[in-house]
Amino acid sequence: MKSTSLEIIEDLKKAGYEAYWAGGCVRDMLLGIQPKDFDIVTSAKPDDIERILEHTVPIGKQFGVILAIKNGHSFEIATFRSDAGYSDGRRPDAVEFTNAREDALRRDFTINAMLYDPSTEQIMDYVDGQKDIRDRLIRFIGNPEERIKEDHLRILRAVRFRNAFDFQYHPETYQAIKKHVHLIENISPNRIADELSKMIMGNSPGRAFEELFEIGALEIIIPELCKLKGLAQPLMYHQEGDVWDHAMKALNSLTDEEIDPNPLPAEPPSLALKWATVLHDIGKYETFAQDQQRIRYDHHAEVGSDIAKKILTRLNFSNKIIDRVHWLIRHHMMIVPLFEMPDGRRRHWFLQAGFEELLELNRADTVGTEPLDLSQYEKLKLLYRHEIAKLKLMPKNLLSGKEIMKICNLPEGEKVGEIIKDLRDKQLSHELKTKADAKKYLLKHFL
Ligand code: ATP
Ligand code: MG
């Protein structure tokens, strides 16, 4: 990708234009981080870019942004521009094509505003970005209050970058953020969700949430989560602090490789798992109760899963994410019952699409707890691996969907799916062993 973006820069330069890497990728290079993408800025106008480069898509032509596709990679190429007026606190009313310096000045933070010429290895730094990288500072370019009023999302971006890179704030930047935090109310749910998701997927998500709470942003975005602050836990089982501390510790543990070098699932934690972990105990506020022995939160998993669904729906997350988070939270107290259930029923759980994530959530939940006792998690993980290995050796379904439709005289649809699942459960628990068993069972129960 890097070398392809170099080729594009060369193409633009050969045609007589200036062209540089810009923004995040320059920052990441200076920080010694592998850039995710290489955004390019150029003096060429959108029409010129389209003429010079072979495959382009005009994704934001009126703002001067063209997507170029080359060697299977895509790159955003933007014409030098300055933003003229922000009447909606979100997006510029218009852009004006300008020069490299003006383009740097329209950007949000000094560390995000450097340009780099890869052929001469020269950094163009109009805003002392290198100094701020050295001193590890997040600092708005220009007047912080004005910059926040132009685009309120910059408040959340500041929090994200500070925590992702473990930076500090420049004093005026921090004061402006705190003063104008209420403007977050006006940001669209999608933009908030995107930014929060980037925080949650980045480094130190627990600290980012802590800071969102501190500056008053969380009260506006997810007030339900603020209720976990100071919420008491039974000391016998939870010495790590209040419910909030527990949730944050659990969240941070998901990406802590030292805790379990061999976790399930093998891929990095998904967005759904991350959200499920932050929100897994969100029902504890509503269900808090004391009996003779201890503090309890009966049914907090069910109650919490519904609260989580409400939060994520409000933030406009996709149904796929919402459903998975809902499922994970709803069943996060399933671990003990799993040991007690009949084998076939347990295998049914093991085969659920989200089961590995449920195990992962259990691990995070456990690691977020003091005193730490991973024995149940380890036991279940072993059992799961053992069973799954066995199941992989198992014969295919006794009857195919088509066969079921024919036997039961059913059209394609949900009902057939239900029957397939039912047959599979019975097969796994050895109630049905042969095709003939399955047919007999169908004729008896589904005709
Ligand atoms: P990431 O690693 O998260 O992609 P990034 O810095 O590349 O970080 P992007 O959102 O991809 O962030 O934006 C690319 C660049 O565009 C930024 O580095 C910044 O210079 C500029 N930019 C993005 N969003 C804003 C904004 N809301 N206000 C001002 N400048 C912005
Ligand atoms: Mg980027």
Quick check: 275 pLDDT over 80?
Answer: yes
Average pLDDT over residues 140-156: 97
Average pLDDT over residues 257-270: 72
Query: What are the tens digits of pLDDT across the range 297-310?
Result: 999 999 999 999 99
Quick check: 363 pLDDT over 80?
Answer: yes
Quick check: 321 pLDDT over 70?
Answer: yes
Domain 2-135 has CATH 3.30.460.10: yes
Q: Is 430 in the pocket of ligand 1 (CB under 6 A)?
A: no
Q: What is the 3-state secondary structure (H, E, C) of the chain?
A: CHHHHHHHHHHHHHCCCCEEEECHHHHHHHHCCCCCCCCEEECCCHHHHHHHCCCEEEEEHHHCEEEEEECCEEEEEEECEEEECCCCCCCCCEEEECCHHHHHHCCCEHHHCCEEECCCCEEECCCCHHHHHHCCEECECCCHHHHHHHCCHHHHHHHHHHHHHCCEECHHHHHHHHHCHHHHHHCCHHHHHHHHHHHHHCCCHHHHHHHHHHCCHHHHHCHHHHCCCCCCCCCCCCCCCCHHHHHHHHHHHCCCCCCCCCCCCCCCCCHHHHHHHHHCCCCHHHHCEECCCCEECCCHHHHHHHHHHHHHHHCCCCHHHHHHHHHHHHCCCCHHHHHHCCHHHHHHHHCCCCHHHHHHHHHHHHHCCCCCCCHHHHHHHHHHHHHHHHHHCCCCCCCCHHHHHHHHCCCCCHHHHHHHHHHHHHHHCCCCCCHHHHHHHHHHHCC
Confidence (pLDDT) at 421: 86
Ligand nearest to the CA of 26: 1
What is the band of 394 on the pLDDT scale with cuts at 50, 70, 90? low
Average pLDDT over residues 321-343: 93
Q: Is 196 in the pocket of ligand 1 (CB under 6 A)?
A: no
Residue ranges of domains in the chain: 2-135, 255-391, 401-445
Q: Is 330 in the pocket of ligand 1 (CB under 6 A)?
A: no
Q: Is 366 in the pocket of ligand 1 (CB under 6 A)?
A: no
Q: Is 24 in the pocket of ligand 1 (CB under 6 A)?
A: yes
Confidence (pLDDT) at 430: 84
What is the band of 22 on the pLDDT scale with cuts at 50, 70, 90? very high
pTM: 0.86
Poorest-confidence range of 158-162, 196-200, 268-272, 408-412?
Answer: 408-412
Distance 25 CA to ligand 1 centre (A): 10
Q: Is 108 in the pocket of ligand 1 (CB under 6 A)?
A: yes
Q: Average pLDDT of the chain?
A: 92
Atom of ligand 1 nearest to the CA of 150: 28
Average pLDDT over residues 153-163: 97
Distance 115 CA to ligand 1 centre (A): 13
